[in-house]
Amino acid sequence: MTTIRAALFNVYFFGLTFILALPTPLLRLVAPTRALDYARFWVRVVLWGAREICGIRVSVTGLELLPGDGAALLASQHQSAFDTLVWLTLVPRPSYVVKQELTRIPLFGPMLLAAGMIRVDRAAGAAALRAVLTATEAARGAGRQILIFPEGTRVAPGVRVKLQPGIAAIAARLGLPVIPVATDSGLHWGRRAFLKRPGVIHIAIGAPIPAGTKRLELLDAIEAHWRTCEAAGFEPVDKSVGNGPAGLPGKLNGL
């Protein structure tokens, strides 16, 4: 049954994405400021499908630790593509730092840029970091919630990799606290996995790490939050998102 559900969801996901991508060139031309809203609608419909077809639900703790609608800097674990979707439903104006390759995908890529995502050329070395610092400064000025994945790539549950130091450079430049975020999304929505397994994906938002924290201390604090949540099994869970009315998803978690 899980395999059948996964197959149905993949048909749903790619079909939906294709249909919604078709009008995006016109949207970028006539209403570019609506790109983020359009992306948020797409994600809500995708997550509704994951819930209804695959039985995947999402539970979140720590939402009260996020600023209401101002600039923020979040450092999240990255286990699956799910992590690059869900924040469009959890914060008002997210701005992901994404690899440049994604922005080159026809139709989809230009929408990422129109929605205010920040591209990084991982092959450009120091020049890439300078460009990201400039872009994140602009995002902070616009009151965006900046999403960084310090692992630099999707990492399977239980696997540990050295965190990239770019998050420390960005935090120092922006002068913002870093909000660590743990997740176990890879248990249900695997890295490059066909199967989507039913169950609850947990997202645990931690207490902000003060601005000005030294690089090594910052990286250690981010990872400590992740490992503490893993060891505790992400309990307790006190918030739930993904319950939409019949036909279309409603606002997730009140956003």
Supply the CATH number for residue 32's domain.
Answer: 3.40.1130
Q: How many CA atoms lie within 13 A of 54 on its CB side?
A: 29
Alpha helices (H) along the chain: 2-21, 24-30, 35-54, 108-114, 126-141, 166-174, 215-231
For residue range 10-66, list pLDDT tens digits in order. 999 999 999 999 999 999 999 998 999 999 999 999 999 999 999 999 999 999 999
Please check whether residue 250 lies inside any domain of the structure.
no
pLDDT of residue 113: 85
Average pLDDT score, the chain:
86
- Residue 149 in this model has a pLDDT that exceeds 60: yes
Please check whether residue 131 lies inside any domain of the structure.
yes
Please check whether residue 252 lies inside any domain of the structure.
no
Please check whether residue 13 lies inside any domain of the structure.
yes
Q: Which domain holds residue 83?
A: 2-241
pLDDT of residue 236: 53
pLDDT of residue 53: 96
Please check whether residue 46 lies inside any domain of the structure.
yes
Please check whether residue 53 lies inside any domain of the structure.
yes
Between residues 101 and 173, the one the model is more confident about? 173
SS in 3 state form for 206-238?
A: CCCECCCCCHHHHHHHHHHHHHHHHHCCCCCCC
Please check whether residue 247 lies inside any domain of the structure.
no
User: CA triplet 84, 185, 152: central angle to 5 degrees?
Assistant: 50
- Residue 249 in this model has a pLDDT that exceeds 80: no
Q: What is the pTM of this model?
A: 0.86
**3-class DSSP assignment, residue 105:** coil
Task: Give dist(CA 74, CA 26) in Å, integer.
Answer: 32
Q: How many domains does the chain have?
A: 1
Task: Give dist(CA 228, CA 231) in Å, integer.
Answer: 5
